[in-house]
Amino acid sequence: MKVVEEERKNLSAADIGHVNTDGPGKAPNYVLLPGDPNRVALMAELWDGGKQGPEGFSGSPEVWTLARQAKAAVGTYKGTEIGAWSTGIGGPSAEFTFTDVIGRGGETFIRVGTTGTIQPYVNIGDIIINDANIRLDGTSDLYARKEFPAAASFEVTMALVKACENLGIPYHVGTGCTSASFFTGQCRPGYKGYHPSYIDDMLEDLKAQGVLNFEMEGATLSTLARIYGKRFGMCAVVVAHRLTGEWLEDPKTEQNACLVGAEALRILAEWDEKKKVAGKKYYFPGL
């Protein structure tokens, strides 16, 4: 049964909303958030074992199918207990999954996704680590005023950088743009070439401002994580280059993004232990 935080226990069923009764009853502290439910199985294949059963973590990672075809998995990666829950596409779907998983005990989250770049120096297959996102997601507007920043945790961002360095995978760090739309909201034409005039200026402005990429969930998740006091960061592999027209969904590069996310969670667990021993609240180089 779904575990909800203490403050929600007296809410009605209608206030709580849809409940996922299948899958892991408790989430590990460290959780990956892919959009695509099929990516959960890909992630689990890269882990070194540990499913959540009646007696805890043992055996091989297990993948659950949840309501509305969402997926979840719990296992270990290099000895660190981690999980993965698919968020689906866009802010509302990500909001639902994130709210559910923090109720199950998740504390540290990394979105692992695919993305399209708008900068000439970024290549297909590179990893983009967004340390902040422009909030065009729609959902976060219902939680905080526009001036509230959609910023990632500095610890998670540092861990993602270290993970890319450890794995030898090319990466870029910077601002992304989270859109509530796949087509016109990302400056693409819609059906029959529908093309609002503003999208040409929007794309050029974002390029000039140094924005790296478009994606669809980061701003929602980072805003909610800040409000709820959770750690969040994100990495996404570039599958589309908006300036050259290239599109390549390669299982190998998607696997790279999954590895970066898992390795970053392992690093964060290591840093958390160092903080605990040193009696520090935050990690810093040299701790």
Ordered DSSP codes for 29-47: SEEEEESSTHHHHHHHHTS
Lowest mean pLDDT among 35-49, 114-128, 201-215: 35-49
- Joined together, the tokens standing for residue 124 give 């297909």
Give residue-wise pLDDT tens across range 236-258. Answer: 999 999 999 999 878 889 999 99
Q: For residue 17, name the pLDDT band (cuts at 50, 70, 90).
A: low
Q: What confidence score (pLDDT) does residue 24 get?
A: 83
- Closest alpha carbon to 139 in 100, 91, 178: 91
DSSP letter at 151 equals B
Lowest mean pLDDT among 19-23, 92-96, 175-179, 268-272: 19-23
Task: Report how far apart, in Å, the C-alpha atoms of 66 and of each of 87, 121, 287 are.
Answer: 11, 39, 40
* Mean pLDDT, residues 82-95: 97
Instruction: Give strand pairing partners of 65.
Output: 71
Which domains are seen in the chain, by residue range?
6-275 (3.40.50.1580)
Q: Which residue has the tokens 């950088």?
A: 161
Is the per-residue pLDDT at 55 higher than 60?
no
Q: Rounded CA gap, 34 and 16, in Å?
A: 24
> What Rg, from alpha-carbon coordinates, does the chain have?
19
Query: What is the average pLDDT score of the chain?
Result: 90
For helices 218-228 and 91-103, give the axis angle rounded to 10 degrees.
Answer: 30
